[in-house]
Structure 1
Amino acid sequence: MALLVSLPGENQAMFWILFLLLPTLCLQAGNSAGSNRGNTFGVNQPARLSGVQGESIEIPFSFYFPWELAKDPQMRILWRWKHFHGELIYNSSSGFIHEHFKDRLILNWTQPQTSGVLRILDLKEQDQTVYFCRVHLKTKRKFMEIMQSIHGSNITVTHAVSTTMQSPSIITSAVTTAGLEDTEGQRNPSLVNIGATVGGVVATAVLITPVYVMLIFLWWKKRPAD
C-alpha cells in the first residue's frame, strides 16, 4: 500500500489496470494453449529409410486430427516426391500412378484407418529422393481438410552385393582341366605305381613260364612206360 502511495498518479492508474486485467490475460493464455493442443494435426513418416536396388521398400505413415469426421469423410491418400510441392506420384481415390512407378506402387491402407504403408517395388537408382504423404478428409464442418508431412521420408537406394559363385559344371571342368595339365607335366604317382606293378607281374611270368615247361617235360620223360 505504501508503494502505491509513493507512485505518481498516472503510474498508480496503470498499475491498477494491469492488476485487474492480469487474471483475464492469464485465462486467455491458458485457453489459447489448450486450444492449440486440441487442434493439432499432421502426418508422421520416418525421416530416413534405406532399400536395396531391385528389392522393395515400405514407407509407413500415420496421421492425426482433432476434427469430427463427416458421415462420408471421403478420405484420400496422395504421395508426392522430390520436394514438398513436388510432382504427384499416387492418388488413392483415382488410382493414379506416376509413369515412372507404373506397376511398382502398392498402398496398404483402407478408409477410415489413420495409418498405412506405401510399398515401392523393384527399387531403381532414380527412386532415391524424398517422399511426402498428403491426406484429404471431410469433417462435420463440411470442410475438406488437407494435411501433409513437412519433411517427408528420405529414401536411400543401395546397390545389391554381388556374390559371384562358379557353377558346379564350371568347377568340374576346371578340376578336369587341371588334372589333364598335371598328367601332361608329370606322371600321376598312382598310375606309375600301377604300371610298375603290371610290369613286374609280366616280367615274372616271362621268367617262370620256361622253368615250368622244362619241369613238365622232364616229368613226362621219366614217367614209367605203360
Structure 2
Amino acid sequence: MALLLSLSGGNQAMAWILLLHLPTACLQAGNSAGSNRLNAFGVNQPANLSGVQGGSIEIPFSFYFPWELAEDPQMRIFWRWKHFHGEFIYNSSSGFIHEHFKNRLILTWTQPQTSGVLRILDLKEKDQTGYFCRVLLNTREGMKGLQSIAGTQLTITHGISTTMQSPSIITSAVTTAGLEDTEGQRNPSLVNLGAMVGVVLATAVLITPICVLMIFLWRKKR
C-alpha cells in the first residue's frame, strides 16, 4: 500500500517541502484515491526481515504509478525509520545519511528505475525498528509522492558463539581417560607396559652374568 500526494504549479521548491510534510489528513485522502484500480500506484516492500547483529541486511523496494513522467522526472528516493512520520535517514538527491547510519547505508538504485535495494551494514541492536520507503517524482500532472504505509519491520538477532576447549584441556582429558579402568578390568595399555618391563628385566638378568664373565676372563688373560 502507498500514499499519493499531488501538487502542481507554483514554486517547485516549496512544493517539494510540502510533499514531505503534509499532515496526516491529506495523506489519508491520497490513500483512498490510490485504491482505485484505474489509477493504481504504490510502494512495495517486504513486511518483515531479520538480520544478525554485526552483519548486513538488504531491503528491496519497488514502486508503480499510472502517470506519465515529465521530461525531467526528478525522481527521488527517501527512507524513514521507526514510524510512518519518522525521521528521514536517507535522501538520494542530496546524499544525506542520518548520523546513526553514517557509513552504513548503501542505496542501489538509478533513475528512472522503479526498483532498488537499501543495504544496511554493521547492524546494531538499535536498528531494530520499521523502515519506510518514500518516492517523489515529477509527472506531466505535477509532482507526486508515494510512501509505503506498513513499511518493513526489521528484527535484529544475536549471533551464536561457540566456545571450544583449549588443546591442553583436551589432551588432559584424553590422558586421564586412558588410565581409567573399564568395568573393573585392567586397561590394555597398562598390561602392555607391564609386559615390556618384564622383558627388559629378564634380558638384564641374562646379560649381566655374561658381561661379568667376559670382564673376568679379559683381566685374567692380561
Please, what TM-score do these two structures have when normalized by structure 2?
0.70
The 2-side partners of 1:204 and 1:74 are apart by 105
Does residue 196 (structure 1) correspond to residue 198 (structure 2)? The answer is: yes
Over residues 201-226 of structure 1, what are the superposed CA-to-partner deviations in whole Å (9 max), with x where a residue is unaligned? 11111244456789x79xx9xxxxxx
CA deviation after TM superposition for structure 1 residue 53, in Å: 1.1
Deviations 1:131-168 (A, max 9, x none): 00000000112x221110011011111111112234xx
Match of 1:93 in 2: 93
- Relative to structure 1, the CA distance from residue 121 to residue 181 in structure 2 (aligned partners, 3 Å threshold; closer, same or farther) is same
Correspondence for 1:47: 47
Distance 1:145 1:77 in 2: 12
Residues 41-75 of structure 1 deviation map (CA, whole Å, 9 limit, x = unaligned)? 11111111111111111111110111100111011
Paired-residue identity, %: 63
Report deviation, 1:91: 0.5
Which amino acid in 2 is paired with 1:54? G
Shift in CA distance, 51/176, structure 1 to aligned 2, threshold 3 Å: closer
Give the deviation of 1:177 after TM superposition. 4.1
Partner of 2:36, secondary structure, is: helix
**1:155 and 2:154 correspond:** yes
Question: For residue 70 of structure 1, what is the aligned residue in structure 2?
Answer: 70
Q: Which amino acid aligns with 2:202?
A: G
For the residue of structure 2 that corresponds to 1:202, the secondary structure is helix
- Matched AA of 2:169: A
**In structure 1, the residue corresponding to 2:43 is in which secondary structure?**
strand
- Which has more strand, going by share of residues? 2
Distance 1:69 1:124 in 2: 39
Bigger RCO (CA 8 Å, 6+ sep): 2
Question: Who is 2:79 aligned against?
Answer: 79
Whole-Å separation in 1 of the counterparts to 2:164 and 2:177: 25
Distance 1:182 1:70, change over 3 A: closer
- Determine the C-alpha separation between the residues in 1 that align with 2:44 and 2:161: 35
Offset at residue 89 of structure 1 (A): 0.4
Query: Which structure's CA Rg is the greater one?
Result: 1
Name the CA shift for 1:89/1:181 in 2 (closer, same or farther; >3 Å): same
Q: What SS class does the counterpart of residue 78 from structure 1 fall into?
A: strand
1:42-191 to structure 2, matched below 5 A, reads: 42-141=42-141, 143-166=142-165, 170-171=166-167, 173-178=168-173, 189=190, 190-191=192-193
How far did 1:130 drift? 0.6
Once residues 82 and 164 of structure 1 are traced to their aligned partners in structure 2, the CA distance between those partners, rounded to angstroms, is 36
Q: Which runs of 5+ in 2 are unaligned?
A: 1-32, 181-186
C-alpha separation between the residues in 2 aligned to 1:153 and 1:176?
51
Structure with more of its chain in helix, by fraction: 1
Q: How many residues align?
A: 179
RMSD of aligned Cα (Å): 3.2
Q: Compared with structure 1, are the counterparts of its residues 81 and 194 closer, same or farther at alpha carbon in structure 2 (3 Å cutoff)?
A: same
CA distance in 1 between counterparts of 2:171 and 2:146 reads 68
SS at match of 1:199: helix
Q: How far apart in 2 are the matches of 1:70 and 1:210?
A: 117
Distance 1:183 1:50, change over 3 A: closer
